[in-house]
Every structure is written in C-alpha cells, then in structure tokens.
Amino acid sequence: MPKYMLIMRGTDETNAKMMATPFEEMLATVGRFNEELIRAGVLVAAEGLDDPAQGVVVDYSGETPVVTDGPYGETKELFGGFYLLDVASKEEAIEWAKRMPAFPGSKAEIRRVPTIDEFPQDNEWIVKERAWRERTGQL
C-alpha cells in the first residue's frame, strides 16, 4: 500500500489558538484521533515539531551554506507536524485528513511517499539503502 504524509500547517491565528488550549485537552483530542489511526492499522508515524523559534535554517543559495537561527519564514510557510499513513489511496488519505483535529484556518498538505521499489534497483545507492532498510527491519 502507498504511504501518504499529512503535513500540518498553521497560521499565526491558529497557532495562538493552539497555545491558548489547555495542554491536557489538546493531548486528549489528538490522542483520540491517533487511537483511531492505530485501530484502523494505518498509522506509520506521527510527530509534532517544536517552536520554529528554536529551529535553524541552512540556506544553500551561496557558495557555502549559511545557518540562520529561527524563527524564519512566514508562519503559513512552516509546518508544525506530520502524520505518515499507510493507506490504499490518496482518497483514503484525504478522508483521514478531513477527520484530523485542527483549528479553523489550518491546512494539511497531503503528499505521497514513493517506495524504494520505484527507484532503479540496479543503482548502487539504492542497493545499499535497500540492504540498510532490510537490516533495520524497514523492509
């Protein structure tokens, strides 16, 4: 089955609403959704990200990479977390995204994650990656 990533995006307003929500309430809401995904057998991974102000950007525009401390970019350009789902189709990923707990004004980007089988299997780097995935139980 293909994998799809649901990438959660917020705005300044939705982030403010999230920060104003009691932490236990937020954990319960997200926990119930995560439990649904687990019961359905589609959850591969899910992570929320720390405050963008704690991150950095490495910019490769020049001859040498330049590191800039956060915050960086406009809020609408940043993502706050993701779900990785193993579902039958993009349509199924969309249905899960529609059920995801989110504040009004938030967005979720849905992107398919190609499998290693879609790459040239005679490429030395793909052979090495496949061996690593097999050793670590990912295949």
Distances (CA, A) of 5 to 57, 89, 95, 99, 109: 22, 12, 13, 15, 8
Q: Please, which residues bridge with residue 45 across strands?
A: 84
> Position 113: which residue type?
V
In which band, very low, low, confident or very high, does the pLDDT at 75 lie, cut at 50, 70 and 90?
Answer: low
Give φ, ψ of 115 to 5 degrees.
-90, 165
Which is the CATH superfamily of the domain at 3-135? Answer: Dimeric alpha+beta barrel (3.30.70.1060)
Residue pLDDT, tens place only, 95-132: 999 999 988 888 999 999 999 999 999 999 999 999 99
Does residue 53 or residue 114 have the better pLDDT?
114
Examine the pLDDT at 87 and tell me if it is beyond 80: yes
**Contact predicate 106/14, CB 8 Å:** yes
Threshold 0.75, pTM exceeds: yes
Which pair of structure tokens corresponds to residue 28? 């319960």
